[in-house]
């Protein structure tokens, strides 16, 4: 009996391919044959932008602050002998204060870098190498950004031991497991604040407290969190923090790293040079970009609750619309401990790439921009134990300061329509509707 069902299903799938081949061949000859298979839709205009985790637009207020330093005030902020240098230096120092204020730090603890990737490299390699003669162990998680994981790989090649902590199915780190992983050899714990793919917020305060009690440095990659959720390096016991400019409506090409001074965290510099930024990051500070990052941080601080309330509202609207119309949709990551501007959904029985192709009029992504070129499912989704097929069908919706209600509604409606259309084409969906449990099917004969 069981075998019979299997054969029937196999036949069904075979028939589907035959049917499909026929239809696609007519499709290529005549575009109007069957609009069920017509992927190329007519639309005019630029696509909507719903990928706020990849990057955000430059806020006009930030550009307005930057422009004088791109035109009139071009002095090198490190020139000490003339007014051109002094005015640039003053602007850079003002920006440093603006960044520090947003995270409750002292301006002297902020170091400008080229972005969060560089900040993460400095934090991990810098701390590990400085304390490397005594302590040779680092702890991080499996869901970190590529640049943290890759820095750890590089350190492993240098002889460091790295623990890649697994996360729970909701994407959060288990504190007991973290505590168990800590050894007297451990010099650094690095856990990101908000995940770039699934938007979960890690228990940063608790991890900070634990690390402080064990006298271990705590680094957090807060690129997706700064300016979006309240952060305070004092109350959260953070020793190092990575900040990115272009994720807070600032310019691309600048970021910052917070390095605690009391008790002092010492770092071995990666870049050699003129000793700017307290020797931690040599190279002339790009005044206009620093000014932009500073202004972006100031605006984010003023607008934090306004933006958050707004993004929460839009996020709820999107979820309500999609969950009302579609079944078999899974939300990846913890639904409560998360930043509402990042929604990661898996649409079962739909291939994520096909859905992205169909949704050409909306700029969306299936996960991190760094890995969006490959068709491999995201390692973050695999780490939270998402099934292979669901990991392949995930889409990330990124809502930001400039997203409108119309954009969210348009996206939700388009998404619902395409998911329904693609499911109707899928033999798997048909089988699920008939009550076949797909997990029991043996797909190959060997």
Partner 1 sequence: MSTRNQVLKLYKMLLRESEKFESYNFRSYAVRRVKDAFRENQNLGNGDALKEKISEGHKNLEIIKRQVLISQMYKTDRLIIENMSRN
**Pairwise CA distance, residues 165 & 139, whole Å:** 7
Question: Applying CB under 8 A, which of residues 177, 206, 268, 361 lies at the interface with partner 1?
Answer: 361
Closer by beta carbon to partner 1, 14 or else 43: 43
- Binding partner 1 (rule: CB under 8 A), the pick from 12, 61, 209, 252 is 61
Interaction between residue 215 and partner 1 (CB under 8 A): no
- Counting contacts by CB under 8 A, is residue 359 touching partner 1? no
Contact flag: residue 312 with partner 1 (CB under 8 A): no
Among candidate residues 174, 211, 370, 415, the one labeled active-site is: 370
Contacts (CB under 8 A) with partner 1, residues 386-405:
401-404
Residues counted in the chain: 446
Residue 408: burial class (beta carbons within 10 Å; 0-12, 13-18, 19+) = buried
| Closest distance to partner 1 from the beta carbon of 301 (Å) | 15
End-to-end CA distance of the chain: 20
Q: Which is nearer to partner 1, 105 or 408 (CB)?
A: 408
Q: Which of residues 339-358 bind partner 1 (CB under 8 A)?
A: none
Fill in the per-residue mask, 88 to 117: x = in contact with partner 1 (CB under 8 A), - = not in contact.
------------------------------
Strand order in the sheet with 186-190: 110-113, 255-259, 240-244, 217-221, 186-190, 137-141, 161-165
Q: Considering beta carbons, is residue 93 or 361 the nearer one to partner 1? A: 361
Nearer to partner 1 among residue 68 and residue 166 (C-beta): 68
Cis (ω within 30 of 0) for the bond into 20? no
- Rounded to a whole number of angstroms, the minimum distance from the CB of residue 8 to partner 1 is 44
Within positions 31 to 50, which residues make up the interface with partner 1, using CB under 8 A? 43-49
- Write the DSSP symbol of residue 165: E
Between CA 178 and CA 350 the distance in angstroms is 36
What is the smallest separation between the CB atom of 144 and partner 1, expressed in angstroms?
31
Q: 12 or 313: whose CB is closer to partner 1? A: 313
Q: What's the rounded Cα separation, in Å, for the pair 383 and 377? A: 11
- Residue 370 is a catalytic residue: yes
Spatial contact of 294 and 99, defined as CB atoms under 8 Å apart: yes
Stretch that binds partner 1, among 11-19, 72-80, 406-414, 416-424 (CB under 8 A): 406-414
The contact mask relative to partner 1 for 270-309 (x = CB under 8 A, - = no) is ------------------------------------x---
> In what helix (H) or strand (E) does residue 90 lie, and over which residues does it extend?
helix 83-103
**103 close to 239: Cβ distance less than 8 angstroms:** no
Q: According to the binding rule CB under 8 A, does residue 63 interact with partner 1? A: yes
**Residues numbered 129-168 forming contacts with partner 1, rule: CB under 8 A:** none
Looking at the Cβ atoms of 47 and 275, the one nearer to partner 1 is: 47
Nearer to partner 1, 71 or 272 (CB): 71
CA atoms lying within 13 Å on the CB side of residue 145: 28
60 belongs to the binding site for partner 1 (CB under 8 A): yes
Number of residues that bind partner 1 (CB under 8 A): 21
For residue 245, how many other CB atoms are within 10 A of its CB?
32
Q: Which residues have C-beta within 8 Å of that of residue 345, sequence separation ≥ 6?
A: 322, 329, 330, 331, 332, 394, 395, 397
d(CA 377, CA 366): 9
Phi then psi dihedrals of residue 389, to 5 deg: -70, -35
Residue pair 207/229 in contact by the 8 Å Cβ criterion: no
Q: Which of 13, 20, 57, 166 binds partner 1 (CB under 8 A)?
A: 57
Instruction: In angstroms, give the least distance from the CB of 44 to partner 1.
Output: 5
* Closest to 243 in 3D by CA, of 220, 265, 262: 220
Residues that bind partner 1 (CB under 8 A): 43-49, 57, 60-61, 63-64, 306, 361, 401-404, 406-407, 410
Q: Annotated catalytic sites, by residue?
A: 370
């Amino acid at each position: 009996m069981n075998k019979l069902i299997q054969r029937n299903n196999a036949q069904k799938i075979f028939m589907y391919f035959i049917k499909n081949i026929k239809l696609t061949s007519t499709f290529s000859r005549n575009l109007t044959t069957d609009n069920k298979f017509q992927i190329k839709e007519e639309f005019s205009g630029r696509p909507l932008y719903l990928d706020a985790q990849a990057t955000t637009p430059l806020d006009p207020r930030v550009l307005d602050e930057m422009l004088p330093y791109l035109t009139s005030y071009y002095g090198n902020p490190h020139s000490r002998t003339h007014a051109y240098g002094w005015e640039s230096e003053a602007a850079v120092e003002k920006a440093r204060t603006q960044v520090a204020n947003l995270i409750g730090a002292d301006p002297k603890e902020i170091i400008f870098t080229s972005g969060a990737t560089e900040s993460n490299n400095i934090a991990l390699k810098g701390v590990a190498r400085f304390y490397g003669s005594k302590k040779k162990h680092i702890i991080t998680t499996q869901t970190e950004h590529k640049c943290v994981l890759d820095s750890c790989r590089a350190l492993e090649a240098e002889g460091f031991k790295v623990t890649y902590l697994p996360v729970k199915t909701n994407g959060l780190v288990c504190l007991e497991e973290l505590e168990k992983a800590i050894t007297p050899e451990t010099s650094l714990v690095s856990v990101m604040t908000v995940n770039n793919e699934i938007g979960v917020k890690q228990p940063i305060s608790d991890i900070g407290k634990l690390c402080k009690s064990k006298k271990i440095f705590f680094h957090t990659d807060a690129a997706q969190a700064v300016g979006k959720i309240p952060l305070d390096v004092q109350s959260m016991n953070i020793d190092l923090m990575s900040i990115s400019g272009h994720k807070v409506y600032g310019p691309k090409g600048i970021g910052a790293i917070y390095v605690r001074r009391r008790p002092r965290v010492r770092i071995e510099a990666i870049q050699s040079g003129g000793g700017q930024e307290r020797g931690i990051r040599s190279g002339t500070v790009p005044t206009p970009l620093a000014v932009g990052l500073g202004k972006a941080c100031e605006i984010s601080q003023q607008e934090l609750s306004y933006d958050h309330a707004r993004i929460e509202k839009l996020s709820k609207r999107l979820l309500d619309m999609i969950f009302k119309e579609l079944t078999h949709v899974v939300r990846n990551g913890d639904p409560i401990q998360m930043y509402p501007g990042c929604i990661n959904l898996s649409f079962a029985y739909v291939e994520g790439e096909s859905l992205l192709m169909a949704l050409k009029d909306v700029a969306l992504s299936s996960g991190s921009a760094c890995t969006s070129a490959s068709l491999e499912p995201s390692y973050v989704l695999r780490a939270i134990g998402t099934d292979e097929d669901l990991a392949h069908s995930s889409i990330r919706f990124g809502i930001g300061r400039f997203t409108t209600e119309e954009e969210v509604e348009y996206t939700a409606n388009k998404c619902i329509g395409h998911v329904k259309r693609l499911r109707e084409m899928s033999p798997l969906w048909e089988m699920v509707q008939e009550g076949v449990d797909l997990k029991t099917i043996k797909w190959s004969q060997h």
